[in-house]
Amino acid sequence: MSRYPLISTDAITDASTEENASQSIISIKQLGKSFVSGSGKGAVRYQVLKDVDLNIKRGEFFILLGPSGCGKSTLLNLIAGFEKQTEGELLVDGKPIDRPGKERAMVFQHPDASLFPWLNVRENIEFGLRMQGVSRGERKAVSDRYIELAGLTGHERKFPRELSGGMKQRVQIARVLANDPELLLMDEPLGALDAFTRRVMQDELVRIWTETKKTVIFVTHDIQEAVLLGGRIGIMSIGPDSRVFEIIDNRLEYPRDLTSREFNLMQKKLQSIFQDDLYFHL
Amino acid sequence: MRFVRKGLKAGLVSWLLFLIVWQLVAMNSNPDYFPTPIQTLKGAVELLTDNSLISYVLISFKRVVLGWLLGSLLGIPAGLLIGRFKWLRELVEPYLNFFRFIPALAFITLFILWFGIGEPSKVILIMYATLFIVILNTAAGVVNVEDDKIRSARSLGASERQILIHVIIPAVVPAFFNGVRLAMGNSFMAIVGAEMIAANEGVGYLIWTSRLYSKTDWIFVGLLLLGLMGFAGDQLLRWMGKTTLGRYGIAKETRFGK
C-alpha cells in the first residue's frame, strides 16, 4: 500500500480512526466477505472483500467507486443486511447488523425487479407504511409529500409498467424515503438509464438529498457520476480481496457544474488512479 | 379490404374458410363417413330436440368445473409451499416428475374401482389432471419471484408473513393463472376419455355411442361442442382474470402471447 504514490496516508487515518463514533452512522472494521462455490473437493473459496475499513458520516453523500466485480454491491448488501460478513465488524449506530431493517433502505439498479408491479405509484410508495400498520389517512399525507418531492405528481395512479425507466427510479426513491430511513443505499440506481435521463436524475438526486439530508451510500463505476454526486468518494481495489483503499474528499459546491475547471481537475485526479498500473496490483 | 382485415383479426375469415373446405371435402366423400356442415347442423338440431345436447354439455361442464376447481384449490397452496420451502421442493420433486408422466386417463379404471362408477371418480380424475399443472406452475412462480422484490419488502419493514401475503402471492398470480388455464385444457381431454369409457351421459359418451348408430354427424357435433366448450371456458376464465386480476399483470396477451 505504501508503494502507491497517490495514497495520502492522511486520508486513510482520517477516514478510519480520527472520526469520532458519534459523528459516524456506520463504522466498518476489518470487514471481510467470502463465498464458497461448489461443494466437496471442488469447493472454491472466493474472498470478495478483505480488511475493509470505513466510516460513514451522518448526512453525507458517500460514493463507492470501482470497476465491475470489485465487491461494491457486496459491501452494500452487507450494510443492508441482505448478506452476512464472514470476518470483521460492521456497526450501524454502534450496533451490529444481523438482518435488513427499515432504517437502511435500498434503491436497486433494476426497478422492474424491485417495484411491485401490481401496485400503482402511490401504493408502491405507501408499501412500507402499510406493512407497519400506519393508518390510511396518515399514509396519504406521507405519500403526498414524497410524490411531490420525487416529481411524480400526476402519476400517482399509474402502474410501474406505464412509466419510463427514470420515473420508475423516482418511485423507488420515493418509496424508501416515505419509510423515513436513516440511510439510503443506492446500488447503481442510474446505471440502466439512457444518458439524458441519467443526467436529469443525477441533478434530481442531489436536490432530493439536499432537501432530505439523509445519509447516502451510492455505488457506481462512473467517475463523472462519482464527482458529480459525492461528498466523499471511496475507491475500491479490484477483487479478490477488495477494500476501500483511498477516500477522496470532494468539496465542490452543489449543484456541480460538469464543465467547470475544478470539476474536471477532480475527475482527472480520479481517472489517474484507475489508469495507473499500480491500481491493478494493489 | 378493411372489412376483410377486420374479419381476419376477429377470426371470422378463418372460420369461413374452414366451412368452405369442410363443405368441399364432404361433398366429395360418403356422408356416412364425412357429413357436410348442413348435415351436422341437422344432427345438432336432432340432439337439441330430445334435450340430450344441452344436458350432455352441462354434465360434462359440471364435471370439468368441479374437478378443476378442487384441483386448483388444492394445487395453489401446495404450489406455494413447495415453491417457498426448498426442503419440501426437494422432497416432492421426484414424485412430481414421476406422476406427471402418467396421464390422468390411465387412472380411470383404478378410480372407478376406488370411488365407484358415479360422479366422484370422474371429478377426482379431473382433479388429478389439474393438480400437477397448477402445483408446478405455482411453485415455479414462487421460485421465480425476484430476490430484489423480497429484499425490498424486507428492508421496508415487512415481516416474513407479510412478505408471503403482500409480495409472493401477488407476484405469483400470473404464473398460477397460467397454470389453471392450462389445467382447464387438460381437464377437457381427461373428461372426454373418462366419459367414453365409463359414463351414460356427457359429450364424451355422445361421441363414443354415436358410432354404434353410425351417426357420424353426431360425432361431428360432439367434436365441435368440445371445441366450443373449451373456447368458452377459456374466454370466460380470461375475462374474469382480466377484470379481477388485471393489476397483477394478466393482460390482454392473447394469441401466441402477443
What percent of chain B has pLDDT above 90? 64
Predicted local distance difference test score (pLDDT) of residue B213 = 87
- If you search the block for the grid coordinates 402499510, which residue do you land on? A130
- Chain A residues with beta carbon closer than 8 angstroms to that of B156: 102, 105, 127-128, 131, 175-176, 179
Nearest residue of A to residue B167, measured between CA atoms: A116
CB count, 10 Å around CB of B178?
Answer: 18
Inspect the interface and report whether the beta carbons of B249 and A118 lie closer than 8 Å.
Answer: yes
> Residue A39 above 90 pLDDT?
no
The rounded distance, in Å, linking the Cα atoms of B243 and B251 is 9
* Whether B159 and A116 lie within 8 Å, measured CB to CB: no
H or E segment to which residue B76 belongs: helix B52-84
Q: What is the residue-averaged pLDDT of chain A?
A: 88
Contact, B55 vs B205, CB < 8 A? no
Single-letter amino acid, residue A212: T
Task: Measure B257 CA to nearest chain A CA, in Å.
Answer: 17
| Residue B161: closest C-alpha in chain A | A131
Q: Which residues contact A179 (CB under 8 A, 6 or more apart)?
A: A102, A105, A128, A129, B156, B157
pLDDT in tens, B29-68: 888 889 999 999 999 999 999 888 999 999 999 999 999 9
- Residues in chain A with CB shorter than 8 Å from the CB of B162 are 131
* Residue B146: closest C-alpha in chain A: A113
- For the residues A3-15, what does the mean pLDDT come to? 44
pLDDT at A281: 67
B149 neighbors B187 (Cβ within 8 angstroms): no
Do residue B148 and residue A117 have CB atoms under 8 angstroms apart?
Answer: no
- The rounded distance, in Å, linking the Cα atoms of A93 and A95 is 6
Q: For strands A87-92 and A232-236, give the pairing.
A: unpaired
pLDDT digits (tens, 9 = 90+) for B142-165: 999 999 999 999 999 999 999 999
User: Which pLDDT value is given to residue A15?
Assistant: 44
> Alpha-carbon distance A63 to A93, whole Å?
19
A111 inside 8 A of chain B by CB? no
Which range has the top average pLDDT, A1-15, A123-137, B28-42?
A: A123-137
Contact: B148, A132; criterion CB under 8 Å: no
Element (H, E) at B131: helix B119-143
Chain B's closest residue to A126, CA to CA, is B156
Residue-by-residue DSSP string for chain A: -TT-TT--HHHHHIIIIIS-TTTEEEEEEEEEEEEEES-GGG-EEEEEEEEEEEEEETT-EEEEE--TTSSHHHHHHHHHTSS--SEEEEEETTEE--S--TTEEEE-S-HHHHS-TTS-HHHHHHHHHHHTT--HHHHHHHHHHHHHHTT-TT-TT--GGGS-HHHHHHHHHHHHHTT--SEEEEESTTTTS-HHHHHHHHHHHHHHHHHH--EEEEEES-HHHHHHH-SEEEEEPPSSSB-EEEEEE--PPSSP-TTSHHHHHHHHHHHHHHHSGGGGG-
CB pair distance less than 8 Å for B247 and A106: no
Please give the Cα distance from A159 to A116 (Å, whole number). 9
Instruction: Using pLDDT thresholds of 50, 70 and 90, give the confidence band for residue A17.
Output: very low
B228-240 in b/e burial notation, b at 16+ Cβ within 10 A? ebbeebeeeebee
pLDDT of A4: 45
Chain A residue numbers with beta carbons less than 8 Å from the beta carbon of B170 are 116, 118
Instruction: Specify the pLDDT at position A192.
Output: 85
Could you tell me which of B16, B15, B36, B38 has the C-alpha nearest to residue B25? B36
Which pLDDT tens digit goes with each residue over A227-280? Answer: 999 999 999 988 788 889 889 999 998 889 999 999 999 999 999 888 877 677
CA distance B207 to B189: 13
d(CA A34, CA A50): 8
Q: What are the b/e assignments for A81-118, b being 16+ CB within 10 Å?
A: bbbebbebebbbeeeebeebbbebbbbbbbbeebbbbb
Q: Residue B142: which of B88, B216, B66 has the closest Cα?
A: B88
Contact between B155 and A106 using a beta-carbon 8 Å cutoff:
yes
Strand order in the sheet with A87-92: A44-57, A24-37, A87-92, A95-96
Digit-coded pLDDT (tens) for A134-162 = 999 999 999 999 999 999 999 999 999 99
| pLDDT tens by residue, B206-235 | 999 998 888 899 999 999 999 999 889 888
Per-residue pLDDT tens over the stretch B231-254 = 898 889 988 888 888 888 876 554
| Residue in A106, A116, A130 closest to B151 by CB | A106
Burial class for B129, CB neighbours closer than 10 Å (0-12, 13-18, 19+): buried
With residues binned 3-state (H G I as helix, E B as strand, rest as coil), the percentages for chain B, rounded to 5, are: 85, 0, 15
pLDDT at B171: 94
A82, A119, A131 member nearest B162 (Cβ) = A131
How far is residue A270's CA from residue B19's CA, in Å, rounded to a whole number?
A: 74
Name residue A277's beta-bridge partners. none
Contact A203, A166 (CB under 8 A): no
